[in-house]
Structure 1
Amino acid sequence: MRRRITTVSGARDGPTCRTISITPVSIQWMAITKSSLTSFAWVPVRIPSTVMLRMAPQRRAPVPVVLSKTVSIPGPWAAVQRATCVALEVEEAKTFAQAKKAPRRLFCRFMMPQRKSMKMNMQIGRLKHTGEILWCIAILLFAVEVTAADQTAAPDEDAENFNYPISLNATYIYDDNIYAQNADALGDSILLISPRIAAKSLWDRHNLTFRAGADLGLYSTYSKENYEDLFLKLRGRYDLSDKTSVFGGIGYSLEHEGRDSPEDNLSGLEPTTYDSTELSAGVSHDIGLYSLRLGMTSEWLDYDNVPAVGDSLIYNDDRDRRLDSVGLQLKRSVTDASEWYARTLYSRRDYDEALSLDGYQRDSTGYRAAFGFKYKADQKMLFDGYLGLMTQNYDDPRFSRVDAVDFGGKLVWLLNSKSRLNLLFNRTLNETTVAGSSGYLLTDLGGTLEYNFMPKTIGSLSLSKSVADYQEITRQDDLLSWGVGVKHLPNKNLYVSADYKIFSRDTSDAYLSDSTLTDEYDFDRQRIYLTIGLTF
């Protein structure tokens, strides 16, 4: 998506101008009189090099620039279909050497012609979908990047400031128990479409990353189980100096609860959906071998009510809540390959409604503290793990304080040139809607062994175990899953895979069904996955 700007002459009003053409959207960068253009928007652009120029909007004509430049237009630009012209005026630097010694900022201005033939055929005010609006915001953030380079550089040496990975996966799934039931299991075929797009900066300093994606599940027979999950995330870091930086982010996601979720109500006619909005900010500072990091996050969860059998409604508004946390981490480098860290976290969980439907106050505050160690040996091994304590205090006097060991981490180990072992372990304290319980302590252990038995073909064997220990009551869920798979990569842009997985849940006998004398929360499930994936 890049073309080098070349100097041309003979423009309508006489001055030398610079023109580029970029596909799939044609954009012209040139000198045009004020009479034919109206201002659309201003976008400041930082040039990550030693040479920067500044826009001079009051000049009658642009001044020829002796420096070669490149421009990058990201993939999301194509969402607009037809874009505007872009006009640029630059302040003259008397000599190339002077420009290098006195770097300045450059501003680009989006310009929109008044001529009917050049009018934009998409107006922000007419957009009907949130996704389109967010795409336009992303375009304003990423659409134009300009870098100045030494005029002695080779003609083909273009500098990219952003990377735009795009992927599209299509998966056929057969599930023999879509409702995760203990009896009368129903099976169905599912088509899962998963597009992903990102924009990642490649700057020497600072960082900006945008990610967006969706998971669209289409059921062949039971169409009420269809779901449309999506997410949008923007993360950034600004380096105040070589040792100090600030960071932050914003994210939005629309998700659904699977039928195997312990919080799913079996009487619901469709999956429970909810949206999550997240904000984060922080600062980090390096002091010799030490690094100090302070961060804050806030997340808002909004659950939708769900229609149920008998024209009833499952009320989920009492699950809406806000999660706030403040964390501090101190890290010290031991060697080039290892470091240790200590972290502490304070969190607050506030529900929108003072009482849940079953009459409990579920607001709470919590603390976590842990020590951790990270080790990376070239490309052969990566270990990152921590161990500590967690505690949670609930506003409802009927709920006792929860005290537990806190741990988590991962191990990636290249056993030899053809095999790799991945291990994960984690513990969290989750919220619940189960009456009489303040929450459940979830312990996850899992691993995957991969073996490259052909140059472009990888086989895998996975196994995981989870234990959900419900507080204040006797319920405990044991979840077990295992699977085998194979993945073939014909080239770097394409892969195909096939997987077979088995899932089971065994709940304590305290929850036996009155009619069948079997535990209504137990289930067994088998799934077959066939996937084709494309990356760009």
Structure 2
Amino acid sequence: MRVGPATGRRGRARILGVALPCLALIALSGTAVQAQTVTPDLFSSRRTSQTAPLDSPLRRTAAEVNDPLTSPKLPENEQPAPRRTGPIPKYGLPAATGAADTGYDSLNRKRKQPKYYPAQPRPKPPIGPGSPPRPAIAANTPLRLSIPPSESAHKTPIPPAVAGTIVGQPPRKRLRGDDDPFGAVGDYAGSFLIKSAVEVSAGYDTNPGRLAAEQGRPVYVVAPEFLAVSDWERHALVADLRGSFTGYTSNLTPNADGTPLSAPLDIDRPNFIGHVDGRLDVSRDTRLTAQGRLFLSTDNPGSPNVQSGLARYPIFTTVGSTIGVDQTFNRLQVSAGATVDRTDYTDSKLTDGTSSTNDDRNFTQYGGVGRVSYDLRPGLKPFVEIQGDSRVHDLRLDRSGFARDSAGGYAKGGTSFEFSRLLTGEIAVGYAMRDYVDPRLNRLEGLLVSSSLVWTATPLTTAKFYSDTTITETTLPGTSGVLTHIYTVEVDHDFRRWLTAIGKFTWGDLDYQGNPRRDKIYTVSGEAIYKLNRNLWLRGTLARGWLESNLPENSTASTVVMLGVRVQN
């Protein structure tokens, strides 16, 4: 189609009418941009240095603006206002720039945990903050309890013998904590730790002979002690020996009517108890045990076994031995042993100068004991124990015409326990009996109670409870023997580490089976110990005792006051 001149002119006029306003608008916009000052947008994601012109001071960093050497001279109307907080310090690279993916990050960003292969060893952490990592130790290098420091740490280096770095030198032993800062230290003799002590006391006893009519006498006691313990890696040997001698400055006074006293005139009495225990470790689960023991004493004052008209107490000794074996089967432990004991009495010295024999009281005892225990749980180990023996006297008939040979034993069950070190010990209940060859002597039997409990009430206060049941021989006509039950409660309190108070209460009953006599004993005592140092202690004791008998003229009472010193090493 052909366009006419009129149509072409109208189209060009329309295009020109539209283009002229656009060109005018573009010209005005360019002039406005050159005269306008750029204002940064605080809420824009683009930085000011990217929107400002190249020669604008906003494109320069804060360090360049504050540096008078690198910052160009600006007109006075373009000088930035001084900062009220002073110049911004220059720290170099931004925080955590170039940091790895793992490790410490000052920006507190979460780091990736290092990945290890299944067989790759994990590095050990340092010993402490700021400490270097542990040095690598070869498999065949012996461990040392102390690592010698470098010479830079000390002006004078530690000798190799002290540091333990000499080749072939055995490792140094770690010192054990001392629970008792005033306890005896002891000395080493070879591989044995030896502790010894002697205590000397003096005081007054209101009734040393335990007579119905009291006769008081000054008293002194000398008590030595000896303890030797082996320090071996396997096996063990322990020797514990304790003795005492109780002496009086004068003898008792005979009765004015000439009747003999129920106690000797010379009432000095020795006492000794000692045992040596050994253990041979055959294997981890099998051990051989042995014990040798010695007991030396006299009849107790006030006992009906004491003859009338004695010049001094007859002394008896009991020597015995036990050989046994302990076998462990996982949690089950079985122990068995054979025992033999020999008791001998010296002759009795009478006030008229004569003497009488005590061969009818001498006897030999053969027996055996077995015990089965099981570790039920940590701190709780129940057990069952059975013992049997036979007593054979040197003389078939005693002074009263009774045959004293007998056979007996006991059976008891109980448990040993340890609860958080606050309550520890062992308690058992059972039954004991003894049959005699002479049919005129009834069976001696009764309930058996044995216990040894320690309760740590507080770090300064400890309570203890002991009980024991024994069957002893007697010379009373028609009496089978004496079944004795003794109970003791003791409380120890430390006012200071060097000052200890001990309170003790003991009661018991003596059952003379076959005889109407029944005795009850009570003892209350208080003791104070002042520890000057590890080698010297002072001890004071006050005790009051009673013996109550159902037979007249047999009840007694006494009070003992003692003050002594203990020297130990």
Matched, 1:468 2:485: no
Deviates more, 1:172-181 or 1:261-270: 261-270
How far off its partner does 1:460 sit? 2.0
Structure 1 Cα separation of the partners of residues 225 and 493 of structure 2: 27
Greater share of strand: 1
Structure 1 Cα separation of the partners of residues 220 and 278 of structure 2: 34
Matched, 1:535 2:568: yes
The residue type paired with residue 179 of structure 1 is G
How do 1:335-346 residues align onto structure 2 when only pairs under 5 Å count?
335-346=377-388
The residue that corresponds to 1:173 in the other structure is 203
On the 8 A contact 1:356/1:362 being kept in 2, the answer is yes
Unpaired segments of 5 or more residues in structure 2?
A: 1-141, 143-165, 176-187, 252-264
Is the alpha carbon distance of 1:367 and 1:231 closer, same or farther for their aligned partners in structure 2, counting shifts above 3 Å?
Answer: closer
Matched, 1:458 2:475: no
The residue that corresponds to 2:538 in the other structure is 496
Aligned pair partner of 2:526 in 484, 490, 495: 484
Matched, 1:323 2:365: yes
Is the alpha carbon distance of 1:155 and 1:392 closer, same or farther for their aligned partners in structure 2, counting shifts above 3 Å?
Answer: closer
The residue type paired with residue 169 of structure 2 is T
Is the alpha carbon distance of 1:288 and 1:153 closer, same or farther for their aligned partners in structure 2, counting shifts above 3 Å?
Answer: closer
The residue that corresponds to 1:507 in the other structure is 549
How far off its partner does 1:271 sit? 1.4
The residue that corresponds to 1:524 in the other structure is 557
How do 1:18-167 residues align onto structure 2 when only pairs under 5 Å count?
151-153=168-170, 161-167=191-197
**SS at structure 1 position matched to 2:468:** strand
Rg bigger for which structure? 2
Percent of counterpart pairs with the same letter?
A: 18
Q: Deviations over 1:382-429 (max 9, x none)?
A: 131111122211101011223322221121111112211111122222
The residue type paired with residue 493 of structure 1 is N
On the 8 A contact 2:318/2:341 being kept in 1, the answer is yes
The residue that corresponds to 2:391 in the other structure is 349
* TM-score, normalising length: structure 1: 0.67
Is the alpha carbon distance of 1:150 and 1:254 closer, same or farther for their aligned partners in structure 2, counting shifts above 3 Å?
Answer: farther
Q: Deviations over 1:243-273 (max 9, x none)?
A: 0011112233432233233422242111121
Structure 1 Cα separation of the partners of residues 193 and 221 of structure 2: 26
How far off its partner does 1:202 sit? 1.2
Is the alpha carbon distance of 1:154 and 1:350 closer, same or farther for their aligned partners in structure 2, counting shifts above 3 Å?
Answer: closer
On the 8 A contact 2:201/2:564 being kept in 1, the answer is yes
On the 8 A contact 2:209/2:267 being kept in 1, the answer is no
The residue that corresponds to 2:212 in the other structure is 182
Q: Deviations over 1:500-527 (max 9, x none)?
A: 1111111113xxxxxxxxx232111110
Matched, 1:203 2:203: no
The residue that corresponds to 1:140 in the other structure is none
On the 8 A contact 2:485/2:508 being kept in 1, the answer is yes
On the 8 A contact 1:259/1:271 being kept in 2, the answer is no
The residue type paired with residue 181 of structure 1 is L
Aligned pair partner of 1:359 in 378, 384, 401: 401
Q: Deviations over 1:153-179 (max 9, x none)?
A: 479999962110111111113111111
On the 8 A contact 1:306/1:313 being kept in 2, the answer is yes
Structure 1 Cα separation of the partners of residues 307 and 167 of structure 2: 64
**SS at structure 2 position matched to 1:400:** coil
The residue that corresponds to 1:260 in the other structure is 302
Q: Deviations over 1:197-224 (max 9, x none)?
A: 2221011210112233432333212293
The residue that corresponds to 1:405 in the other structure is 447
Structure 2 Cα separation of the partners of residues 156 and 340 of structure 1: 36
Structure 1 Cα separation of the partners of residues 524 and 550 of structure 2: 21
Structure 2 Cα separation of the partners of residues 383 and 188 of structure 1: 39
On the 8 A contact 1:258/1:271 being kept in 2, the answer is no
Is the alpha carbon distance of 1:348 and 1:156 closer, same or farther for their aligned partners in structure 2, counting shifts above 3 Å?
Answer: closer
Aligned pair partner of 1:290 in 318, 325, 332: 332
The residue type paired with residue 555 of structure 2 is D
On the 8 A contact 2:443/2:480 being kept in 1, the answer is no
Structure 2 Cα separation of the partners of residues 178 and 396 of structure 1: 36
The residue that corresponds to 1:245 in the other structure is 287
How far off its partner does 1:225 sit? 2.8
Is the alpha carbon distance of 1:288 and 1:157 closer, same or farther for their aligned partners in structure 2, counting shifts above 3 Å?
Answer: closer
How far off its partner does 1:232 sit? 5.0
Structure 2 Cα separation of the partners of residues 215 and 352 of structure 1: 29
How do 1:378-457 residues align onto structure 2 when only pairs under 5 Å count?
378-457=420-499
Q: Deviations over 1:216-240 (max 9, x none)?
A: 3332122933344445533211111
How far off its partner does 1:190 sit? 2.0
CA-atom RMSD in angstroms:
2.3
* TM-score, normalising length: structure 2: 0.63
Structure 1 Cα separation of the partners of residues 172 and 338 of structure 2: 46
Is the alpha carbon distance of 1:206 and 1:297 closer, same or farther for their aligned partners in structure 2, counting shifts above 3 Å?
Answer: same
On the 8 A contact 2:416/2:427 being kept in 1, the answer is yes
Is the alpha carbon distance of 1:228 and 1:424 closer, same or farther for their aligned partners in structure 2, counting shifts above 3 Å?
Answer: closer
Structure 2 Cα separation of the partners of residues 262 and 335 of structure 1: 48
Is the alpha carbon distance of 1:493 and 1:285 closer, same or farther for their aligned partners in structure 2, counting shifts above 3 Å?
Answer: same
**SS at structure 2 position matched to 1:318:** helix
Is the alpha carbon distance of 1:155 and 1:477 closer, same or farther for their aligned partners in structure 2, counting shifts above 3 Å?
Answer: closer
Structure 2 Cα separation of the partners of residues 423 and 180 of structure 1: 27
